[in-house]
Structure 1
Amino acid sequence: MAFYFLLFLIIFIIVMSLRTLFLPSALQEKYISWQSFVYLLFIYSTLFIGFGLIYFLLMQIGLEVLIENGQKIDSRKLYELQSSLYFSGVTLFSIGYGDLSPVGYGRFIAIMEGMIGYTIPASFVVRTVIDFRKDQT
């Protein structure tokens, strides 16, 4: 029961963080600024930690979602958490070194995370252009 609650909570936080990209008043400062940079940093951090925790939670219930160099990840909890966060980071930023690979449900989650990682900069730029055009009229 706690697993499903935590999973729902993490997904809710991720969705609410992404939702701010599409709200008209998401950025008070509409152009590129330090505030915009910190805003993007917050969104990326939320996604990075959120997806990492999803991978970690799935491993805790016995699902194999990540493998390291073709073998099951060491079952020490701290190492699983580190590996989950590391994989989430390299997937979100599309680096993908290849030392950790998704398997099973992890593949679907990694694809979703990668697509979100690609669309965040584009949506931020589009949002900035739309706000700039509104200010020009």
Structure 2
Amino acid sequence: MPNPKICREQTCLLEREAGQEYCTLHVRREGKTSEDLSIALEKYKELCGRQIHNAYLVKANFSGMYLDHCNFKYSDLTDANFRDARLYKVGFDFSYLDHADFEGIILERVDMRRIKSGLGIYFYQTIFDYVLLPHVDKIGKKCVYDTQEPREPQKAYDVYHDLIHIYRRLGYADSAGHYYECFMDAKREISTGLERVWLTLLWLICGYGERPMRTFLTFIFLIFTYAILYVAVGGPTEDTNNFIEASYFSVVTFTTLGYGDISPTGWSRLLACTEALVGVFMNSLFIFVFCRKMIQ
């Protein structure tokens, strides 16, 4: 015969709240206070252990609390407030953490790899100490500061900086590379003047070093653009004033092969000089970007 004073959740031995069928952790009420949660969690550890199943903690206030050696399993912590809290060896297996506030929190040896969803978590000024994060799809390809209105690019810049180092340490090169692009986008947005122009150029021609195919397409575009310019100024020479010959000369000049079978004249000499300089830069950039991706 079930005890009428005990929570109806099968894994829980806590007493029910007054007028409710469930305890503080499982009753479907939003905005539970840190005082109530602190008492309930201590009692739960004593009576039921450290695996907290099916807790309903939507908009719960964990602000400033210290949580250790526990695992919230199959729980709903959507919009929970963990601001300025400290978590040590805490797990969130198969739980929801969407839009949870982790600003200013200290995470020590926290395992978030098996969360169900964590889209829009506020990670600003979070201290990560050997934290295990889930796949990028579970926490979002863009951080909340990049998607909310108004956007906060400076906070996004700091968050992406932390995520890059975490995923590199975990060995997830693709995830780290993705957040590196986001990091550079945020940096470009908060920069001004020549720095912003330079970052925009890097984004266009190589995706900040993450997209070698973009560099290759820039190669093709520049080679044929110069070929058109050669034809426009009368060809590399009068005898080679056609698109086929101009394209051949453009490839030889851009790649700095310099066969010498065609010697430019007139304005083509100036174009050839600029193309050679651009070609040296683009060849070096392509080798760098390609090797960078292969090493990752």
Residue 231 (structure 2) aligned to one of 56, 60, 68: 56
Amino acid at match of 2:271: I
Question: Hey, what's the Cα distance between the residues in 2 that align with 1:43 and 1:94?
Answer: 16
Specify the alignment match of 2:239 in structure 1. 73
The answer (yes or no) to whether the contact 1:52–1:84 under 8 Å persists in 2 is yes
Specify the alignment match of 2:124 in structure 1. none
Structure 1 segments unaligned to the other structure (5+ residues): 1-17, 60-64, 130-137
Specify the alignment match of 2:179 in structure 1. none
Specify the alignment match of 1:99 in structure 2. 261
Q: Percent identity?
A: 24
Q: How many residues align?
A: 93
Specify the alignment match of 2:215 in structure 1. 40
State the superposition RMSD in angstroms: 3.2
For residues 105-124 of structure 1, the aligned pairs below 5 Å read 105-123=267-285
For residues 72-127 of structure 1, give each alpha carbon's deviation from its aligned partner in whole angstroms, at most 9, with x where no partner exists. 4066xxxx11111110010000011111111111111100000000012434538x
Specify the alignment match of 2:247 in structure 1. 85
Question: Hey, what's the Cα distance between the residues in 1 that align with 2:215 and 2:261?
Answer: 27
The answer (yes or no) to whether the contact 2:254–2:278 under 8 Å persists in 1 is yes
Q: How far apart are 1:28 and its partner, in Å?
A: 7.6
Structure 2 segments unaligned to the other structure (5+ residues): 1-197
**Paired residue secondary structure (1:27):** helix
Q: How far apart are 1:43 and its partner, in Å?
A: 0.6
The answer (yes or no) to whether the contact 2:230–2:246 under 8 Å persists in 1 is yes
Stretch moving more, 115-124 or 41-50: 115-124
Q: How far apart are 1:57 and its partner, in Å?
A: 1.4
Larger radius of gyration: 2
Amino acid at match of 1:73: D
Residue 203 (structure 2) aligned to one of 14, 20, 23: 23
Question: Hey, what's the Cα distance between the residues in 2 that align with 1:25 and 1:88?
Answer: 19
Question: Hey, what's the Cα distance between the residues in 2 that align with 1:39 and 1:107?
Answer: 28
Amino acid at match of 1:106: S
Query: Greater helix share, 1 or 2?
Result: 1
Amino acid at match of 1:66: P
Q: Which has the higher contact order (CA 8 A, sep 6+)?
A: 1
Question: Hey, what's the Cα distance between the residues in 2 that align with 1:39 and 1:24?
Answer: 8
Q: How far apart are 1:48 and its partner, in Å?
A: 0.5
**Paired residue secondary structure (1:66):** coil
Distance of aligned partners of 1:24 and 1:89 in 2 relative to their CA distance in 1, 3 Å threshold: closer
The answer (yes or no) to whether the contact 1:21–1:123 under 8 Å persists in 2 is no
